[in-house]
Amino acid sequence: MIGFNADEIGRSERDRLSNTALRTGVYPLIEWGWGRQKCEDFLLDRLGVRWKKSYCSFCCYPVSVGAMSAHLDRMRAFPEIAGRVLRLEYTAMRLNPNARLFGRRSLLGQFDPVHSENGPVLEAFDQELASCPWAVYHLRRLRPPSSKDPAAPGEWLRSVRRLRTGQPADLARTLKRVGGRIGARLEREEQFGSVRAWKLERGQDLPVTEEFLVSAPAFVADKEKADFTEKWERYTGTESALPDRPEVMLLRLTDHA
């Protein structure tokens, strides 16, 4: 029994795709024609309480079942939580520029600093980035051809390695020196100081590959599938486009800073 209401027929249709001989979704609220407002009115009449929608602050789906304005209002009511969520999105986007929380829209982009009501949220976000530990990461991303159809793209594979931690400004200076020595294209995020050093940028043809070093909040764990290195070397012909192991380069530059 699934609690989708009559405003969420699309969700029920997608859920039905998971039906099997052992599992069949039933949607009583949709059968009764009860949308969200009808459900809220029923609860208010029976319990005398205006029931608020359940809410997960860092979920990318709340605006699929409710207005963006309501989502932002709830974040403004809890700026400390909003600051942490913005830090999560910021970190994700530094490691992957396409990782906005809402697809083509970022959460941060919804809080225009021109409007004073957004001030506490943006201040909380600034405090999150200023007070949290930062790190330099080595990112490699690969999209090989599909094993079933060489002309079609396969699944994305990723390797993330944390190389060292430190203060944002110190890590940014180190990455600038590294980028200059290895001929990487430097990309600085001016507002908060993150630096990305592109050594290998993705193209249009398969296999799609990219490799860079980046400074960002230190909350991302190392991650790499067991067969990543074998596939990376198969499609790029080398373990890395960098002239030396990235941790060795950083250590050398730190020693001679």
Give the residue carrying structure tokens 């630096």.
195
Residue 255 has pLDDT above 50, yes or no: no
Percent of the chain with pLDDT over 70: 88
Comparing 24 with 54, the larger pLDDT belongs to 24
Q: Compute CA distances 51 → 13, 41, 47, 96, 161, whole Å.
A: 26, 9, 9, 37, 44
Determine the pLDDT at residue 17. 93
Question: For the segment 149-199, what is each residue's pLDDT rounded down to a tens digit?
Answer: 999 999 999 999 999 999 999 999 999 998 888 889 999 998 889 999 999
Question: For the segment 78-112, what is each residue's pLDDT rounded down to a tens digit?
Answer: 999 999 999 999 999 999 999 988 888 899 999 99
Percent of the chain with pLDDT over 90: 67
Residue 59 has pLDDT above 80, yes or no: no
Question: For the segment 127-151, what is each residue's pLDDT rounded down to a tens digit?
Answer: 999 999 999 999 999 999 998 999 9
> Can you tell me the mean pLDDT for 35-61?
83
145 prior amide bond cis, ω within 30:
no
Backbone dihedral angles phi then psi of residue 158, each to the nearest 5 degrees: -145, 145
Do 101 and 107 form a contact (C-beta atoms < 8 A)? yes
The model's confidence at residue 71, banded by pLDDT at 50, 70 and 90, is confident
Residue 207 has pLDDT above 90, yes or no: yes
Determine the pLDDT at residue 257. 44
Determine the pLDDT at residue 55. 66
The ranges assigned to domains in the chain are: 1-51, 56-132, 133-255
Question: For the segment 232-254, what is each residue's pLDDT rounded down to a tens digit?
Answer: 999 988 877 675 666 655 655 55
Determine the pLDDT at residue 256. 43
Residue 231 has pLDDT above 80, yes or no: yes
Axis crossing angle, helix 119-131 with helix 68-77, rounded to the nearest 10: 60
Two tokens, residue 71: 């989502």
Using CA atoms of 65, 73, 54, 13 in order, give the dihedral in degrees to the nearest 10: 0
Determine the pLDDT at residue 248. 57
Name the nearest CA neighbour of 86 among 192, 198, 175, 212.
192
The model's confidence at residue 26, banded by pLDDT at 50, 70 and 90, is very high
